[in-house]
Amino acid sequence: MKFATRLVHFDGSPKDPYHPMATPIYQTATFEQDHADSFGEYDYSRSGNPTRRVLEDQLAALEGGSRGFCFSSGMAAILAVTQLLKAGDEILADWDLYGGATRLFGEVLNRSNIKVRYVDASDPAQVAAEITPATRMVYVESPTNPMLRIVDLTALGHIARQHGVLLCVDSSTMSPYLQNPLGLGADIVIHSATKFLCGHSDVTGGAVIVQDESLAKEIAFLQNATGTALGPFDCFLLLRGLKTLKLRMDAQQQSAEKIAHFLSKHDKITAVHYPGLATHRGYDIQSKQARGGGAVLSFTTGSPEAAKHVAETTQLFRIAVSFGSVTSTISVPVKMSHASTPQALKESRGIPDDLIRLSVGIEDPDELLEDLDSALRTL
């Protein structure tokens, strides 16, 4: 079956005698057992829940993995993956990461003596050169947030295998519709399900998908041991949102392409970062490893004041953190999603303070362009 068909044709209610079209919400914390010394398939929702399992299986299938796991947020998913490591281990991470990931790496993992070093992972040679005997994981986003840099996942997969380290890819900006890192050589895929998987800004959730059975066992253990799984009602909402993933992303991506072209010709805009533009650094790699540029882009306006002004002047693009919703949003990353990143890191990473990030929704594309155009004309 093709992707659009797979999104709606799957076993959404295993073993249910009534064959409902929508997956039932098993809103229960515990399941009655026949015996005191042996349990059925489900005993307690922290360990497993039928609604969650349908979502987890569907995500695993869409990503080409063997097992999926859903968490209460993208950060809980990232945390679970980092808990595969032990004191003394090291993560080699690309420098351009969601601010919350940087905070977790710098201010939480250090408490367990797990070290994170940053490299420019868009240069695979640099990653290979920086791997040490302590390195257990290479951690990247692609495209990255907020600079939309492209990391060559196939090249990193080779390097990771050669050195016996895990490659973990946060693919939130793409969704399984546009990119499948496991097929490119990644060991672990992470999604902030809050973004395109949900699509409606009404759930915070996260997902981890793996192929390898022993990794799956470890993540299952961690999900249960730490109690970070997603609740049944949120799983139901995600299952509902997921069915329209292709429809939404096709529309959002088409509009994002139009907007990126418009901005790249605009005299007030100093740079546009969008992986669907042929001029974008990494475009060729993106064309090989993904099926489009997605619906997130960023651009610079010349000054932080101009960025603030544009963000506050658009009407259809609403000021909000996060991305991937059917409603378009606008943000100034250094003040919003990346505000928690220490100033020195922000400066050394070169995330411009006049950078605006857009997440393009499903509104009429011409109205979105008009909205941006009129905000830019007031500069």
Q: In the bound complex, what is the minimum distance in angstroms from residue 205's beta carbon to ligand PLP?
A: 6
Closest CA to 168 of 81, 101, 99, 75: 81
Closest residue to bound ligand PLP by CB:
74
- Angle between the 245-264 and 365-377 helix axes, to the nearest 10 degrees? 30
Q: From the candidates 170, 187, 354, 371, which is the catalytic residue?
A: 170
Residue 312 in tokens: 């506050």
Residue 166 in tokens: 């895990």
Closest CA to 330 of 371, 297, 358, 367: 358
Q: Considering beta carbons, is residue 147 or 220 the nearer one to ligand PLP?
A: 147
Q: In the bound complex, what is the minimum distance in angstroms from residue 79's beta carbon to ligand PLP?
A: 9
Q: Are 286 and 150 in contact (CB under 8 A)?
A: yes
Cα distances from 227 to residues 203, 224, 287, 290, 362, in angstroms, run 18, 5, 39, 33, 35
Q: Considering beta carbons, is residue 78 or 128 the nearer one to ligand PLP?
A: 78
* Pairing of the two strands 318-319 and 206-210: unpaired
Tell me, yes or no, if 243 is annotated catalytic: no
Q: In the bound complex, what is the minimum distance in angstroms from residue 101's beta carbon to ligand PLP?
A: 6
What gap in Å lies between CA 195 and CA 28, rounded to an integer? Answer: 26
Q: Are 104 and 82 in contact (CB under 8 A)?
A: yes
Q: Considering beta carbons, is residue 322 or 328 the nearer one to ligand PLP?
A: 322
Q: Considering beta carbons, is residue 25 or 320 the nearer one to ligand PLP?
A: 320
Q: Considering beta carbons, is residue 329 or 365 the nearer one to ligand PLP?
A: 329
Q: From the candidates 52, 67, 136, 195, which is the catalytic residue?
A: 195
Q: In the bound complex, what is the minimum distance in angstroms from residue 194's beta carbon to ligand PLP?
A: 4
In the chain, the DSSP E strands lie at 67-71, 90-94, 115-119, 135-141, 166-170, 188-192, 206-210, 271-273, 296-300, 318-319, 329-331, 355-359
What gap in Å lies between CA 286 and CA 159, rounded to an integer? Answer: 19
Instruction: Provide the binding-site residues for ligand PLP, judged by CB under 6 A.
Output: 73-75, 98, 100, 141, 145, 170, 172, 192, 194, 204, 206, 322, 337
Closest CA to 242 of 101, 49, 41, 70: 70
Tell me, yes or no, if 170 is annotated catalytic: yes
Tell me, yes or no, if 377 is annotated catalytic: no
Q: From the candidates 6, 42, 46, 335, which is the catalytic residue?
A: 46
Q: Considering beta carbons, is residue 192 or 253 the nearer one to ligand PLP?
A: 192
Q: From the candidates 26, 89, 98, 354, which is the catalytic residue?
A: 98
Q: In the bound complex, what is the minimum distance in angstroms from residue 37's beta carbon to ligand PLP?
A: 39
List active site positions.
46, 98, 170, 195
